[in-house]
Amino acid sequence: MESLDQSARSRETPTLLDVLGQYGIFNALCCRLDTATLFALRRVTKRLSDPFRAHTRERWNVNRRLKHFVDHPQDLRTMMARHNALISGSFVVQFFDDEFWKGSDLDIYVEKENAAVFGTYLARKEGYRFEKSSTSGDEYPLSGIHKTDTYLRGENDSGNETKIQIVSTRSIPVSCILGCFSSTAVMNIMSWNTAYSMFPDLTFLEPRSQLKVCTGYEDDNDSERIRAHIEKYRKLGWHLLSQQELKDSPSGSLQLEGTRRVGDRYSWKMALNVEDVKPSLVPDYALQHCHFGIYLATVRAAGEEIYESGAYDFKSHVLKYKYTFASSKSDFWRALGYTTLHGLIIDELRNLDAEVRPAFLDLPVPDGAHPWLPEITRFMAHFVKPETWKFYDEHIPAWCDEWEKANSQGELVEQMAAVGIEGPDEARV
């Protein structure tokens, strides 16, 4: 009889998973876990999937975080969608890390043609006052920045002052952020509907690290500002990687001398709640197919290997949106631009009405990989595209997928050859 009672009591005793399945307990536990530990817990069992989803929705509630700066976060994000603006800087680091740093600001990056509308919005809708305007040389060593307008709300003496900076960029914001920032720790971006961390393994896993990257445009004053920026994040817990550490424990996300893109398999990509946010007319793939890379700088300091980031503007007459390419010779956009896109431009020119079609197309096709390239460049400089002109952006995801598969295959063959193993193609007889 006693053994039966013990058996009944053991069946009624809840397991740890039973306890964690109660959301109040699960949420209280998860609120005390850092990001890396939280995701380790997620991999323990699928039984906690529902409470995990509920917790992450609130933990990474972007509207709640933006409310520190604006009263109407959905309206601000609608503005971002309309004008293709991005948030970067410390706000996105804190967002991913579920932290709040007192005194931090909000940096919004937008092409210079659309910067004024954000200032008007902040003043009229959110009660901000204009504080100052700085050119790129005043505060930032970044070649991609046109100027920075600072807006304040509240009073500093009372401790409730908030600051928003509208950073006007000379080209699309992502080329400035990924091509001009000085530390991998801040290469994180937030669009109207998605947040991306480019180097999540370095930035958010222990031991937290950062790699200094120069822009290729530094002078002595710029170097001092960059050192101060690196030191700021070092004091916040991000260790500066040494050359030896890079060699001993290479990071997967760095892919030194290789090509990366926004939202690729090395990125941390997080979809945001878009309720009450009006969507952008620009598809997500336009941002997600912006490429960048980290490379050894051409000019190196004595005894020191210096790395630089690369994200350069790419546009084509048969693409509606702007993109970025990395400086790698094997970059997707270099391969596509010199072959497929050039051919499509010729096709579109051939489809024009006879009275506007360029006369050089009636001549024999010249030799070379890029026929009529100088002639096309001169013609397109003053040509107004008709409504019948086709753009091919919608094909970019499929083309890039094919390129990535082919590039990965090439890397595999090289790695196998290095250890004396035949690649898949060579092995066939």
- The average pLDDT across 202-223 equals 75
Name the residue among 58, 109, 60 with its Cα closest to residue 85. Answer: 109
Is residue 188 within 8 A of residue 88, CB to CB? The reply is yes
Tens digit of each residue's pLDDT (9 = 90 or more) over 375-392: 999 999 999 999 999 999
Q: What angle do CA 97, 216, 227 make, to 5 degrees?
A: 50
Residue 60 Cα distances to 64, 314, 331, 340, angstroms? 9, 33, 33, 41
Q: Which two tokens stand for residue 351?
A: 């489809």
The neighbouring-strand residues paired with 271 are: 194
Residue 301: predicted pLDDT? 57
Tens digit of each residue's pLDDT (9 = 90 or more) over 110-122: 999 999 999 999 9
Is residue 318 within 8 A of residue 391, CB to CB? The reply is yes
Residue 213: predicted pLDDT? 87
Find out whether the peptide bond into 207 is cis, omega within 30 degrees of 0.
yes
Give dist(CA 290, CA 262) in Å, integer.
Answer: 6
**pLDDT above 60 (res 409):** no
Name the residue among 225, 105, 222, 112 with its Cα closest to residue 167. Answer: 112
The residue assigned the tokens 């190196």 is: 300
Tens digit of each residue's pLDDT (9 = 90 or more) over 147-193: 999 999 998 777 789 999 999 999 999 999 998 888 999 999 999 99
**pLDDT above 80 (res 220):** no
**pLDDT above 80 (res 37):** yes
Name the residue among 87, 91, 111 with its Cα closest to residue 100. Answer: 91
Q: How far apart are the first and last CA of the chain?
A: 75
Give dist(CA 130, CA 149) in Å, integer.
Answer: 8
Q: What percent of the chain lies above the pLDDT cut of 70?
A: 87
Residue 421: predicted pLDDT? 40
Tens digit of each residue's pLDDT (9 = 90 or more) over 120-135: 999 999 999 999 998 8
The neighbouring-strand residues paired with 312 are: 325
Is residue 376 within 8 A of residue 313, CB to CB? The reply is no
* Full DSSP string of 23-87: HHHHHHHHTTS-HHHHHHHHTT-GGGHHHHHHHHHHHT-HHHHHTTT-S-HHHHHHHHHHHT-EE
- The average pLDDT across 76-93 equals 98
Name the residue among 393, 390, 391 with its Cα closest to residue 352. Answer: 390
> Radius of gyration of the chain from Cα atoms?
26
Residue 43 Cα distances to 37, 51, 195, 202, 375, angstroms? 10, 13, 22, 20, 58
pLDDT band at 10 (very low <50, low <70, confident <90, very high): low
**pTM for the model:** 0.87
Residue 294 Cα distances to 196, 209, 253, angstroms? 17, 15, 10
Four-point Cα dihedral 279, 282, 285, 286, nearest 10: -140
Tens digit of each residue's pLDDT (9 = 90 or more) over 275-304: 999 999 999 999 999 999 998 876 665 566
Is residue 333 within 8 A of residue 291, CB to CB? The reply is yes
Q: Which residue has the higher pLDDT, 82 or 47?
A: 82
User: Reduced to 3 states, what is the DSSP secondary structure of residue 360?
Assistant: helix
Residue 56 Cα distances to 7, 35, 50, 205, angstroms? 38, 10, 10, 18
Residue 146: predicted pLDDT? 92
Residue 92 CB neighbour total at 10 angstroms = 24
- The average pLDDT across 256-282 equals 95
The strand pair at 307-310 and 312-314 is best described as unpaired
Residue 422: predicted pLDDT? 40
pLDDT band at 425 (very low <50, low <70, confident <90, very high): very low
pLDDT band at 136 (very low <50, low <70, confident <90, very high): low
pLDDT band at 100 (very low <50, low <70, confident <90, very high): very high
Q: Which residue has the higher pLDDT, 221 or 57?
A: 57
**pLDDT above 60 (res 427):** no
User: Largest alpha-carbon pair distance within the chain?
Assistant: 103
**pLDDT above 90 (res 218):** no
Q: Where are the alpha helices (DSSP H) in 84-219?
A: 90-97, 115-125, 136-139, 173-180, 200-204
User: Reduced to 3 states, what is the DSSP secondary structure of residue 429?
Assistant: coil
Q: Which two tokens stand for residue 333?
A: 């956009």
Q: Which two tokens stand for residue 212?
A: 């200094």
Tens digit of each residue's pLDDT (9 = 90 or more) over 316-370: 999 999 999 997 667 899 889 878 999 999 999 999 999 999 999 999 999 887 8
**pLDDT above 90 (res 140):** no
**pLDDT above 70 (res 261):** yes
Q: Which two tokens stand for residue 5?
A: 């009672």
Lowest mean pLDDT among 13-22, 93-102, 170-179: 13-22
pLDDT band at 223 (very low <50, low <70, confident <90, very high): confident
Lowest mean pLDDT among 98-112, 230-244, 380-394, 411-425: 411-425
Residue 415: predicted pLDDT? 44
The chain-wide mean pLDDT, for the chain, equals 87
Q: Where are the alpha helices (DSSP H) in 242-296?
A: 243-248, 284-288
